[in-house]
Amino acid sequence: MKGMGGPGAGGGMGDIVRRAQEAQKNLAKVQEDLKGRVVDASSGGGAVTVYVNGQQELVKITIRPEGVDPSDVGMLEDLVTAAVKQAMEKSKKLMQDEMGKVMGGLKVPGLW
């Protein structure tokens, strides 16, 4: 019976399930790979540098002592905030790019 997903129907439901399972495996592999990939962003001319992995986990913050003015803690807070925001944006883009490769450009709501 053509058109019912049997032979001659382009693989039918079994092919869709196989491709979905393959995509799921690939996504899991990419997610694990993203955990080991780190992006960074800095502010204040490099006074503060923030490192975030591809799963949007904050890994490390470095602050150059010469970039810190003890009488202006507010400025340091602003520099850290700016660097964290930039690093998170880079991490999010990295994740979207890598997931997009696996999904072939298909956006799945709630996935990222």
pLDDT tens sequence across 22-80: 877 877 888 888 889 999 999 999 999 999 999 899 999 999 998 889 999 999 999 99
Regarding pTM above 0.85, the answer is no
For residue 52, the surrounding DSSP H or E stretch is strand 48-53
Q: Residue 72 is which amino acid? A: D
DSSP letter (8 states) at residue 72: -
Q: Among the residues of the chain, which ranges form H helices? A: 12-36, 73-103
Phi and psi at residue 63, in whole multiples of 5°?
A: -130, 120
DSSP letter (8 states) at residue 6: S
In whole angstroms, give the CA distance from residue 74 to residue 81.
Answer: 10
pLDDT tens sequence across 87-112: 999 999 998 888 888 776 555 555 55
